[in-house]
Amino acid sequence: MNIAAGVDIGGTNTKIALINEEGQIICQASFSTWSAKDEFHFFELIYRHIQSLCQQQPHLKLIGIGIGAPSVNPKDGSIEHAANLPFKQKVEIVHALKQLSGLPVHLVKDSNASAIGEMIFGGAKGMDNFIVITLGTGLGCGIVSEGKLLTGAHGMAGEFGHTLAVENGRECGCGRKGCLETYVSATGIKRTYFHLMAHLNVDSTLEDLSHLNSRMICEGALQGDLLAKETFAFTGEILGRKFADLVACFDPACIILNGGVIDAKEILLDPTTKAMNDNLLSLYQGKVDLILSGLGANEAALLGAGALVWMG
């Protein structure tokens, strides 16, 4: 049976999976993106992990590799100036992995890999106009218009996480202030918790503030921590308001949320939906759905990367 390798290169870990044509993950592995000594070592690590997965499944025939990564230059198959990866220079990943594997290699922006994953195997099956928002360390945004990925003039469309959410707001890693992802990503949610600890006269019931992350805040909200509940209300208010603007620009039929933060489910979805609808121009009322991804946590990008191989 033929099989595709999907690779999802993240700022923390790089995930690798063997994926069949039905979108099932046969087996997977991951390694710390920062464990690579340099880019050549990084390419080798990816290829060795693919080889090792294939050796576990000798009846499968690998026919190609699909990669989702940040800061992709789609013109020449490279990664350039990636803020969250160990190599800052231009790295020609498609060329390198073709040489190592002798197979076709495809590369798209990580957020677009997620959009493809949702389109081929997830909640956007059969949809022509939708947007996938990934809430993780940052905010990823993949846009599909009339069945095609919107890439822009230089392959850099969809940087919705770096549009203004709050004038003169929080400092962002990009050097500007008030970017959306400083409020609604996993990192942004943690910052909001600290903001509310300062702003409200309420004590935290969370045990380990030194290692605080969005999952702990979500669990705190479920267990009645007032600051955690308020954190998600605040997050949903900002995210929903910005979604109303996103709808006004793109007129999607659906916005699909994925990424680790959506483990919070209704705690995040409810205030976000309310704020979106409260701010939506009347002509869009009732015409756009906001849903949580039905794919496993962080699987959309991996599946979308694999789908690149099947799409050819």
Closest approach, Cβ 298 to a second copy, in A, equals 24
293 in Cβ contact with 134 (< 8 Å): no
Round to whole Å and give the CA distance between 271 and 258.
16
Closest approach, Cβ 38 to a second copy, in A, equals 23
Closest approach, Cβ 172 to a second copy, in A, equals 10
Closest approach, Cβ 111 to a second copy, in A, equals 12
Which residues here bind a second copy, judged by CB under 8 A? 71, 81, 128-130, 143, 145-146, 148, 150-160, 162-164, 166-167, 174-176, 241, 244-246, 248-253, 279, 281-284, 287-288
254 in Cβ contact with 123 (< 8 Å): yes
Nearer to a second copy, 246 or 309 (CB): 246
Helix (H) or strand (E) holding 257: strand 254-258
Which residues lie below 8 Å from residue 233, measured CB to CB, with a gap of 6+? 271
Nearer to a second copy, 27 or 174 (CB): 174
Query: What separation in angstroms does the CA of 167 have from each of 119, 177, 180?
Result: 34, 7, 10
Nearer to a second copy, 164 or 291 (CB): 164
Closest approach, Cβ 236 to a second copy, in A, equals 16
Nearer to a second copy, 222 or 248 (CB): 248
- Any idea of the CA torsion for 166, 167, 169, 173, to the nearest 10 degrees? 90
Nearer to a second copy, 67 or 143 (CB): 143
C-alpha closest to that of 149 among 170, 124, 172: 124
305 in Cβ contact with 295 (< 8 Å): no
C-alpha closest to that of 62 among 112, 18, 95: 18
Closest approach, Cβ 49 to a second copy, in A, equals 29
Nearer to a second copy, 38 or 278 (CB): 278
